[in-house]
Structure 1
Amino acid sequence: MDIETTGRNGNKRIYQRAGPSQAVHDRPNAKVCFHWQAGKCNRFPCPYLHSEPPQHADGGGGAKRVAGGDQRGFHSQGLVWRNPNSNNGNTGAPARWGKGRGGGTVGSARPQRKAQDKICNYFIGGSCSYGENCRFLHSWFLSDSISLLTPLQGHQNVITGIALPAGSDKLYTGSKDESVRIWDCQTGQCVGVINLGGEVGCMISEGPWIFVGIPNSIKAWNTQTATELSLSGPTGQVYAMTVGNEMLFTGSQDGRILAWKFSAVGNCFEPAASLVGHRLPVITLVVGAMRLYSGSMDHTIRVWDLSTLQCIQTLTDHTAAVMSVLCWDQFLLSCSLDHTVKVWVATESGSLEVTYTHTEEHGALTLCGMHDAQAKPILFASCNDNIIRLYDLPSFNERGKIYSKEEVRAIQVGPGGLFFTGDGSGEIKVWKWLTNEAMAA
């Protein structure tokens, strides 16, 4: 494996804080708009500040800093990077999916968001001339529960995978620019680039292993032993991978799912089975409750028994490509380009049926489940309008939004309240859930 190391200053750190332009900070005597604070200002332009007052160097009398906004790198003190996939099981089974919508967030007193909140497209492009007087949002997110720590820039194309191997202090990101970048978790610097000679279709980690799907092959390497393997067998691009029952499953462009078993004797992965059934590319895979779930461009989800590797059910409720599947407790969640997120539950006979359908205005691309700082379950749903929507579960009340330059296809949970998003422009953003103390500050 050839790794190109970057210089100490090869990737400049960029710290971004959502807020007013520098011109506003230059008005030391300006007052904060009372109506803006109440969320009701309709003056344009408004003569008063639509932001917190500027910070004082001594830390007194000024606005409090955004939590995490001045952190170096994105290392969480006292924590060791570990495989986040081991924490995907969630406690407390939701009983009433979609109930209580429109009545505020369950279990909290968060204020309702303004319906007209819309991000400024010129702000996205970095060229808004209105600055503080712009009537649209100048922020990468709309939520009082998260903080943007830093962007990681270097990739030149769509981010298709983010991995955190166990026992490593490195973050790995894969892209359609045919490279995997390695980031130091202490400094946020890119410390290496692996050129693969083919677009990265997906990337996952399991224990110390990293698996990267490229056209007609899977690259695997162990970050602890430096073992490097190349698995041949897939036809076309590898779009999805998952691990379950001590096997690696890969979904590829020809509609097949290949299974690989690790052999400790030969320190290699041996082909175990080829699962045939999908008519079009398999683009999402997940394992849960001794089942493998596969979503495809053929609009179906297939359910496979992990012990027999036989298909035991085909779900046909979606009317467009199934982009992402997610296991949450005893539920299966799926999203599609048909603008829906569906929640499936097993009946007494063992078959899956839709128990709730959530409708989006745009096609849904990626689902990710995680807990906030208060251990409440949150669903992330990325859509092709370049927005990730955060939903409280099981109510599906909207919790907030994350905006991106282009659509997000990679979301990864990290330790210590961290999570990562990667968009179509090649940018990765590092986020952190805010604790009650930080939210009140």
Structure 2
Amino acid sequence: MESSDLQERERERRSPNSMDLDMNGGNKRVFQRLGGASSKDSNQKVCFHWRAGRCNRYPCPFLHRESPPPAPFPGSSSSTNNKRVADDDSGFAGSSHRRGPGSGNNTWGRFGGNRTVTKTEKLCKFWADGNCPYGDKCKYLHCWSQGDSFSLLTQLDGHQKVVTGIALPSGSDKLYTASKDETLRIWDCASGQCTGVLNPGGEVGCMISEGPWLFVGMPNLVKAWNIQTNVDLSLTGPVGQVYSLVVGTDLLFAGTQDGSILVWRYNTATNCFDPAASLTGHTLAIVSLYVGANRLYSGSIDNSIKVWSLDNLQCVQTLTEHTSVVMSLICWDQFLLSCSLDNTVKIWAATQGGNLEVTYTHKEEYGVLALCGVHDAQAKPVLLCSCNDNSLHLYDLPSFTERGKILAKQEIRSIQIGPGGIFFTGDGTGQVKVWKWSTQPTAIHP
């Protein structure tokens, strides 16, 4: 078997769209090698040498014509999943399929240069690694994004594990990124160069900035750095990893692995943070916190959202409509938006009695990891929605009309809005990408 055959089979094996398991849960290829019946004759496969216009096998055991397009996934639009793109990627050809001179009766397939390639919406892993041998003939995407409202400016490499925080401290010309590789990296915003690496002494679970302060969540600890005065504080009290941090008024909140929320109050006289409270009620780790409308919202692995009053730090409501981990929370005007590994984004609004109720549920094909919101230059709200299929969707609200998509090697766990139409994404491989809106948005503030 030629090496190109092996590459093609390896590509199919690695694609999540290929069905590698039989109905009994076993590996299909192993099942077939042991004598199991194949659901599809191998000679019904299209020859990829013919597709590339260079098949020299006669007779060739594979088809020298295009097979019918695959059926759309349940619940998805055929206009979304069955788009066909010309070789030069200049635009969509709709549901029709143009045939080049290499099709028809030409069994040698030497003239396939004008052929249309069926593109999927999946990133080519070989291209992402810099070595796809198929070039424009590849049916997978050779780009990091889809949509014309934004573009990739640069990529920041250096972290070795998932990026857990991205921060732009006030008054600083530096970007800070944190990772589970136990490092913080400092980047010069003008040059994009890494100017320093900090080792906080443990795995970083989250990082935020507020004014000149940089807060880093770690196992059993929150570190606080003042980048203007170089004050370095260690806030003790958390049990286990600190997964989420947020600041509200003069309070710092930390969501911990044991399900409690620790609270510190900033003391201007001593320039320190004094312990203020410990909020209990969640039964499992707290992975998302947000402050808005004089409320603290907490999302947990126990599938619930709790609403806390900032006046007395008492829980005023528990929301239990999600059926899996509540990964991210944001406030938008009078609405609360939550996302979960249950594949949904829920929109909450207050009733006349003041309690929150779900007014709309947006469903995704995969679990939703993170939310971030902006307004574009026309004051239109745009929601950035990261899913665990390694994609980030950009939706116009309130219609949830998709206006673009960002792709990554692994899931995007961190999103940060910057000034001047810049935003940042950090993924599971440690890559941080810098994006630029073609029309400048403004960050949403609670």
Range of TM-score over shorter length: 0.7 to 0.9
324, 342, 349: which is aligned to 1:338? 342
Q: Could you tell me how far 1:48 is from its partner in structure 2?
A: 5.4
The TM-score normalised by the length of structure 1 is 0.75
Residue identity matched to 2:145: F
Whether 2:47 is the aligned partner of 1:47: answer: no
Partner of 1:354: 358
Q: Which residue of 2 aligns with 1:369?
A: 373
Q: 1:274 aligns with which of 274, 278, 288?
A: 278
Change in Cα spacing, 1:38 to 1:363, as seen in structure 2 (3 Å) is closer
3-state SS of 2:126 partner = helix
Query: Is 130-139 or 175-184 further displaced after alignment?
Result: 130-139
SS at match of 1:167: coil
How is 1:315-326 mapped onto 2 (pairs within 5 angstroms)? 315-326=319-330
Asked if 1:286 corresponds to 2:293, the answer is: no
CA distance in structure 2 between the partners assigned to 1:167 and 1:206 by the alignment: 11
Amino acid at match of 1:203: M
Secondary structure, in 3 states, of the residue corresponding to 2:278? strand
For residue 218 of structure 1, what is the aligned residue in structure 2? 222
2:311 counterpart of 1:307:
yes
Query: Could you tell me which residue of structure 1 aligns to residue 170 of structure 2?
Result: 166
1:135–1:316: structure 2 CA closer, same or farther, 3 Å change rule? same
Contact 1:294 1:303 in 2 (8 A): yes
Shift in alpha-carbon separation, 1:275–1:37, aligned structure 2, 3 A: same
Q: CA deviation at 1:121?
A: 2.6
Q: Structure 2 CA distance, aligned partners of 1:244 and 1:349?
A: 24
Distance 1:157 1:211 in 2: 20
Q: Check whether the contact 2:99–2:115 (CA below 8 A) recurs between aligned residues.
A: no
Contact 1:46/1:133 (8 A) holds in 2? no
Contact 1:245 1:290 in 2 (8 A): no
Cα distance between partner residues in 1 of 2:91 and 2:170: 45
1:250 aligns with 2:259: no
Match of 1:196 in 2: 200
CA positional deviation for 1:374: 3.5
CA distance in 1 between counterparts of 2:119 and 2:375 reads: 26
Against the structure 1 CA distance between its residues 302 and 33, is the aligned structure 2 distance closer, same or farther, given a 3 Å change threshold? closer
Contact 2:325 2:342 (8 Å CA) reproduced: yes
Cα shift readout 1:293-332 (whole Å, capped 9, x = no counterpart): 0000000000000000000000000000100011111100
SS of residue paired to 1:122: helix
Q: Which ranges in structure 2 are unaligned for 5 or more consecutive residues?
A: 1-84, 101-110, 441-446
Partner of 1:184: 188
Whether the aligned pair in 1 keeps the contact of 2:98 and 2:115 (CA below 8 Å) is: no
1:37 is the counterpart of 2:77: no
Contact 1:419 1:430 (8 Å CA) reproduced: yes
User: Match of 2:136, SS?
Assistant: helix
Aligned to 2:158: 154
- Cα distance, 1:308–1:154 mapped onto 2, change above 3 Å: same
Pair 1:259-2:263 in alignment:
yes
- Whether 1:425 and 2:429 are equivalent positions in the alignment is yes
CA shift in 2, pair 1:116/1:125, >3 Å: same
Q: Is 1:373–1:434's contact at 8 Å kept on the other side of the alignment?
A: no
1:253-272, Cα deviation, whole Å (9 max, x unpaired): 00000110011111100000
Q: Distance in 2 between matches of 1:36 and 1:178?
A: 41
CA 1:214–1:42 in structure 2 vs 1: closer, same or farther (change >3 Å)?
farther
| Coordinate RMSD, CA, aligned | 2.1
C-alpha distance in 1, partners of 2:410/2:98? 30
Aligned counterparts of 1:134 and 1:337: Cα–Cα separation in 2: 31
Q: 1:337 to 1:408 in 2, by over 3 A?
A: same
* Contact kept in structure 1, 2:119 and 2:140, CA below 8 Å: no
TM-score by length of 2: 0.74
For residues 43 and 230 of structure 1, do their structure 2 counterparts lie closer, same or farther at Cα, with a shift above 3 Å needed? Answer: farther
Equivalent runs, 1:30-179 vs 2, <5 Å: 37-40=90-93, 42=98, 47=113, 116-179=120-183
Larger Rg: 2
Partner residue of 1:378 out of 382, 385, 389 = 382
Higher deviation after alignment, 254-263 or 34-43: 34-43
Q: Distance in 2 between matches of 1:185 and 1:214?
A: 26
Give the CA deviation at 1:370: 1.0
- Per the alignment, in what secondary structure is the counterpart of residue 142 of structure 2? coil
SS in 2 for 1:380: strand
Shift of 1:373: 3.9
Assess if the C-alpha contact under 8 Å between 2:119 and 2:139 holds in 1.
Answer: no
Pairing 1:410–2:414 present: yes
Contact 2:88 2:136 in 1 (8 A): no
Deviations along 1:94-120, one digit per CA (max 9) or x if unpaired, are xxxxxxxxxxxxxxxxxxxx9943322
Tell me the amino acid that sits aligned with residue 39 of structure 1: F
Write the distance in 2 (CA, Å) between the matches of 1:188 and 1:428.
11
The alpha-carbon distance between structure 1 residues 43 and 178, as it changes in their structure 2 partners (threshold 3 A), is farther
Report the identity percentage: 62
Q: Distance in 2 between matches of 1:35 and 1:418?
A: 29
Contact 1:238 1:252 in 2 (8 A): yes
What is the CA–CA distance in structure 1 between the aligned matches of 2:392 and 2:338, rounded to whole Å? 15
d(CA) in 1 for partners of 2:322 and 2:182?
32
Displacement of 1:372 = 2.8
CA contact (8 A) 2:120 2:139 kept: no
Q: What amino acid sits opposite 2:92 in the alignment?
A: G
| Distance in 2 (alpha carbons) for counterparts of 1:140 and 1:43 | 28
The 5-angstrom pairing of residues 379-398 of structure 1 reads 379-398=383-402
CA contact (8 A) 2:216 2:222 kept: yes
Number of residue pairs matched by the alignment: 343
Contact 2:371-2:383 within 8 A present in 1 as well: yes
Is this contact kept in 1: 2:124–2:140, CA < 8 A? Answer: yes
Q: For residue 232 of structure 1, report the CA deviation from its aligned partner.
A: 0.4
